[in-house]
Structure 1
Amino acid sequence: MSKKIHDFNDIIRKLRKKLFGKGPERIHTVFVQNMAISTLYGNLTPAEQFIARTTEGKETVHMARTKLIQNLYASSPPEGLEDLLGAKLEYLFSDIKVEEDIAVSVFVFETNIQ
Protein backbone atom coordinates (compact mmCIF):
# COMPACT_ATOMS: atom_id res chain seq x y z
CA MET A 1 0.00 0.00 0.00
CA SER A 2 1.37 3.38 -0.92
CA LYS A 3 1.98 6.01 1.74
CA LYS A 4 -0.64 8.26 0.14
CA ILE A 5 -3.34 5.59 0.44
CA HIS A 6 -2.23 4.76 3.98
CA ASP A 7 -2.45 8.45 4.99
CA PHE A 8 -5.83 8.80 3.25
CA ASN A 9 -7.20 5.77 5.17
CA ASP A 10 -5.83 7.19 8.41
CA ILE A 11 -7.72 10.48 7.88
CA ILE A 12 -10.95 8.57 7.17
CA ARG A 13 -10.50 6.24 10.17
CA LYS A 14 -9.81 9.10 12.61
CA LEU A 15 -12.76 11.15 11.38
CA ARG A 16 -15.19 8.26 11.76
CA LYS A 17 -13.81 7.36 15.17
CA LYS A 18 -14.32 10.95 16.30
CA LEU A 19 -17.80 11.10 14.75
CA PHE A 20 -19.18 7.71 15.83
CA GLY A 21 -16.92 6.67 18.70
CA LYS A 22 -15.50 3.82 16.62
CA GLY A 23 -13.56 3.82 13.39
CA PRO A 24 -13.58 1.01 10.83
CA GLU A 25 -11.44 -2.00 11.68
CA ARG A 26 -10.11 -2.21 8.12
CA ILE A 27 -10.18 0.08 5.07
CA HIS A 28 -9.30 -0.83 1.49
CA THR A 29 -8.90 2.17 -0.84
CA VAL A 30 -8.07 2.46 -4.53
CA PHE A 31 -7.44 5.64 -6.50
CA VAL A 32 -8.96 5.74 -9.99
CA GLN A 33 -8.53 8.94 -11.99
CA ASN A 34 -10.32 11.60 -9.90
CA MET A 35 -11.89 9.17 -7.42
CA ALA A 36 -10.91 7.46 -4.20
CA ILE A 37 -13.03 4.36 -3.63
CA SER A 38 -12.95 3.03 -0.08
CA THR A 39 -14.45 -0.16 1.33
CA LEU A 40 -14.70 0.02 5.12
CA TYR A 41 -15.12 -3.11 7.24
CA GLY A 42 -16.18 -3.33 10.90
CA ASN A 43 -17.83 0.07 11.28
CA LEU A 44 -20.65 -0.41 13.74
CA THR A 45 -20.43 0.26 17.46
CA PRO A 46 -21.84 -2.33 19.88
CA ALA A 47 -24.85 -0.05 20.45
CA GLU A 48 -25.52 0.19 16.69
CA GLN A 49 -25.23 -3.60 16.38
CA PHE A 50 -27.82 -3.98 19.15
CA ILE A 51 -30.18 -1.45 17.55
CA ALA A 52 -29.81 -3.13 14.14
CA ARG A 53 -31.29 -6.40 15.42
CA THR A 54 -34.74 -5.23 14.22
CA THR A 55 -35.85 -4.08 10.77
CA GLU A 56 -36.59 -0.57 12.06
CA GLY A 57 -33.26 -0.52 13.85
CA LYS A 58 -31.37 -1.46 10.66
CA GLU A 59 -33.10 1.37 8.81
CA THR A 60 -32.28 3.82 11.61
CA VAL A 61 -28.60 2.84 11.71
CA HIS A 62 -28.38 2.95 7.90
CA MET A 63 -29.95 6.39 7.66
CA ALA A 64 -27.92 7.82 10.54
CA ARG A 65 -24.64 6.48 9.17
CA THR A 66 -25.15 7.57 5.56
CA LYS A 67 -26.75 10.97 6.18
CA LEU A 68 -24.36 12.00 8.93
CA ILE A 69 -21.30 11.21 6.82
CA GLN A 70 -22.71 12.88 3.70
CA ASN A 71 -23.74 16.02 5.60
CA LEU A 72 -20.36 16.27 7.32
CA TYR A 73 -18.38 16.02 4.08
CA ALA A 74 -20.75 18.43 2.30
CA SER A 75 -20.14 21.10 4.94
CA SER A 76 -16.40 20.57 5.30
CA PRO A 77 -13.97 17.91 4.06
CA PRO A 78 -11.78 16.32 6.73
CA GLU A 79 -8.71 18.32 7.67
CA GLY A 80 -5.72 17.41 5.52
CA LEU A 81 -7.64 15.36 2.94
CA GLU A 82 -7.47 17.86 0.08
CA ASP A 83 -3.88 18.80 0.91
CA LEU A 84 -2.84 15.14 0.86
CA LEU A 85 -4.31 14.56 -2.59
CA GLY A 86 -3.69 18.02 -4.04
CA ALA A 87 -7.29 18.29 -5.22
CA LYS A 88 -10.59 19.72 -4.01
CA LEU A 89 -13.25 17.24 -2.89
CA GLU A 90 -16.38 17.79 -4.99
CA TYR A 91 -18.70 14.95 -3.95
CA LEU A 92 -18.99 12.02 -1.57
CA PHE A 93 -21.23 9.04 -2.26
CA SER A 94 -21.56 6.72 0.71
CA ASP A 95 -23.61 3.69 1.72
CA ILE A 96 -23.48 0.94 4.33
CA LYS A 97 -24.75 -2.62 4.34
CA VAL A 98 -25.73 -2.84 8.00
CA GLU A 99 -26.21 -6.63 8.08
CA GLU A 100 -22.63 -7.27 6.90
CA ASP A 101 -21.12 -4.16 8.53
CA ILE A 102 -19.49 -3.06 5.27
CA ALA A 103 -19.54 0.50 3.97
CA VAL A 104 -18.44 1.95 0.66
CA SER A 105 -17.50 5.57 0.06
CA VAL A 106 -16.66 7.11 -3.29
CA PHE A 107 -14.84 10.43 -3.03
CA VAL A 108 -14.92 12.47 -6.24
CA PHE A 109 -12.27 15.17 -6.65
CA GLU A 110 -12.06 18.01 -9.16
CA THR A 111 -8.83 16.69 -10.72
CA ASN A 112 -6.94 13.45 -11.15
CA ILE A 113 -5.48 12.17 -7.84
CA GLN A 114 -3.44 9.19 -9.07
Structure 2
Amino acid sequence: MKILKKGLLEAEISKALTQWEKEYLGRGSVQVKTDILRNMVIVALKGILTPAEQALTKTTAGLLSIKKTRSDLIETGSDQVKEIIHALTGINVYSFHTDISTRSGERLIIFMLEENLENKLTE
Protein backbone atom coordinates (compact mmCIF):
# COMPACT_ATOMS: atom_id res chain seq x y z
CA MET A 1 0.00 0.00 0.00
CA LYS A 2 1.38 3.41 -1.03
CA ILE A 3 1.35 5.97 1.77
CA LEU A 4 2.92 9.30 0.81
CA LYS A 5 4.51 11.10 -2.07
CA LYS A 6 8.24 10.44 -2.05
CA GLY A 7 9.25 14.07 -2.61
CA LEU A 8 7.04 15.32 0.21
CA LEU A 9 8.46 12.81 2.68
CA GLU A 10 12.03 13.65 1.62
CA ALA A 11 11.30 17.35 2.22
CA GLU A 12 9.75 16.60 5.64
CA ILE A 13 12.83 14.59 6.66
CA SER A 14 15.13 17.43 5.56
CA LYS A 15 13.06 19.95 7.51
CA ALA A 16 12.96 17.79 10.65
CA LEU A 17 16.71 17.11 10.64
CA THR A 18 17.45 20.81 10.13
CA GLN A 19 15.26 21.62 13.13
CA TRP A 20 17.01 18.92 15.19
CA GLU A 21 20.41 20.40 14.26
CA LYS A 22 19.30 23.86 15.37
CA GLU A 23 18.00 22.57 18.70
CA TYR A 24 20.73 20.03 19.44
CA LEU A 25 23.84 21.55 17.84
CA GLY A 26 22.88 25.21 18.09
CA ARG A 27 22.82 25.84 14.34
CA GLY A 28 21.49 24.22 11.21
CA SER A 29 22.96 23.39 7.83
CA VAL A 30 22.84 25.87 4.99
CA GLN A 31 21.33 23.26 2.65
CA VAL A 32 19.83 19.81 3.22
CA LYS A 33 18.78 17.26 0.58
CA THR A 34 17.20 13.92 1.41
CA ASP A 35 16.84 10.98 -0.97
CA ILE A 36 14.97 7.76 -0.32
CA LEU A 37 16.41 4.73 -2.08
CA ARG A 38 15.07 1.25 -1.33
CA ASN A 39 15.56 0.81 2.45
CA MET A 40 17.92 3.80 2.78
CA VAL A 41 17.30 7.40 3.71
CA ILE A 42 20.30 9.39 2.48
CA VAL A 43 20.71 12.91 3.81
CA ALA A 44 23.31 15.34 2.43
CA LEU A 45 23.91 18.43 4.56
CA LYS A 46 25.96 21.37 3.26
CA GLY A 47 27.41 24.31 5.13
CA ILE A 48 27.67 22.58 8.49
CA LEU A 49 30.97 24.01 9.71
CA THR A 50 31.22 27.23 11.66
CA PRO A 51 33.77 29.84 10.50
CA ALA A 52 35.98 28.87 13.47
CA GLU A 53 35.81 25.19 12.48
CA GLN A 54 36.64 26.09 8.88
CA ALA A 55 39.76 27.89 10.10
CA LEU A 56 40.79 24.86 12.18
CA THR A 57 40.58 22.56 9.16
CA LYS A 58 43.61 24.27 7.61
CA THR A 59 45.89 22.03 9.69
CA THR A 60 45.86 18.24 9.84
CA ALA A 61 45.47 18.24 13.62
CA GLY A 62 42.59 20.71 13.42
CA LEU A 63 40.93 18.77 10.62
CA LEU A 64 41.07 15.51 12.59
CA SER A 65 39.83 17.28 15.72
CA ILE A 66 36.79 18.70 13.90
CA LYS A 67 35.96 15.31 12.33
CA LYS A 68 36.15 13.59 15.73
CA THR A 69 34.18 16.26 17.59
CA ARG A 70 31.43 16.43 14.98
CA SER A 71 31.24 12.64 14.82
CA ASP A 72 30.95 12.41 18.61
CA LEU A 73 28.20 15.06 18.64
CA ILE A 74 26.11 13.19 16.07
CA GLU A 75 26.66 9.86 17.81
CA THR A 76 25.43 11.24 21.14
CA GLY A 77 22.25 12.42 19.41
CA SER A 78 21.81 9.35 17.21
CA ASP A 79 18.85 8.00 19.18
CA GLN A 80 17.02 11.29 18.61
CA VAL A 81 17.64 11.35 14.85
CA LYS A 82 16.68 7.67 14.53
CA GLU A 83 13.42 8.47 16.32
CA ILE A 84 12.78 11.38 13.93
CA ILE A 85 13.17 9.03 10.97
CA HIS A 86 10.92 6.41 12.60
CA ALA A 87 8.26 9.01 13.41
CA LEU A 88 8.18 10.26 9.81
CA THR A 89 8.44 6.91 8.03
CA GLY A 90 6.85 4.46 10.44
CA ILE A 91 9.84 2.14 9.93
CA ASN A 92 12.59 1.36 12.45
CA VAL A 93 16.17 2.36 11.74
CA TYR A 94 18.50 -0.60 12.26
CA SER A 95 21.74 1.10 11.25
CA PHE A 96 23.04 4.66 11.07
CA HIS A 97 26.17 5.82 9.20
CA THR A 98 27.67 9.27 8.90
CA ASP A 99 30.79 11.05 7.73
CA ILE A 100 31.86 14.64 7.27
CA SER A 101 34.09 16.23 4.67
CA THR A 102 35.99 19.01 6.37
CA ARG A 103 37.20 20.19 2.97
CA SER A 104 33.72 20.84 1.55
CA GLY A 105 31.83 21.32 4.81
CA GLU A 106 29.38 18.55 3.90
CA ARG A 107 28.00 15.68 5.97
CA LEU A 108 26.32 12.54 4.71
CA ILE A 109 23.98 10.58 6.94
CA ILE A 110 22.59 7.24 5.82
CA PHE A 111 19.78 5.59 7.73
CA MET A 112 19.28 1.89 6.99
CA LEU A 113 15.65 0.92 7.55
CA GLU A 114 14.16 -2.47 8.42
CA GLU A 115 11.87 -2.32 5.38
CA ASN A 116 11.95 -0.99 1.82
CA LEU A 117 10.45 2.48 2.27
CA GLU A 118 10.67 3.42 -1.40
CA ASN A 119 8.18 0.65 -2.33
CA LYS A 120 5.60 2.19 0.02
CA LEU A 121 5.74 5.65 -1.56
CA THR A 122 4.21 7.19 -4.64
CA GLU A 123 6.12 9.39 -7.01
**How far is the alpha carbon of 1:53 from its aligned partner?**
2.6
Unaligned runs of 5+ residues in structure 2 are 1-5, 119-123
Distance 1:92 1:79, change over 3 A: closer
Contact 2:94 2:113 in 1 (8 A): yes
Match of 1:39 in 2: 44
The CA distance in 2 between the partners of 1:80 and 1:65, in whole Å, is 19
Per-residue CA deviations over 1:25-49 (Å, capped at 9, x if unaligned) read 1112111111101111111112222
Q: Distance in 2 between matches of 1:94 and 1:70?
A: 9
Instruction: Using CA pairs under 8 Å that are at least 6 residues apart, name the structure with larger relative contact order, 1 or 2.
Output: 2
Q: Which residue number corresponds to residue 113 of structure 1?
A: 117
Runs of at least 5 residues in structure 1 that lack an aligned partner in the other structure: none
- Of 80, 83, 88, the match for 2:92: 88
Q: 1:1-16 maps to which residues of 2 (within 5 A)?
A: 2-16=7-21
Q: Could you tell me the TM-score, scaled by structure 1's length? A: 0.87
Partner SS for 2:104: coil
Structure with max Cα Rg: 2
Mapped contact 1:86–1:113 kept (Cα < 8 A): no
Q: Which amino acid aligns with 2:85?
A: L
Deviates more, 1:2-11 or 1:77-86: 77-86
* 1:71/1:80 CA distance change after superposition, 3 Å: closer
Q: Is the 8 A contact 2:100 2:107 kept in 1?
A: yes
In angstroms, what is the RMSD of aligned CA positions?
Answer: 1.8
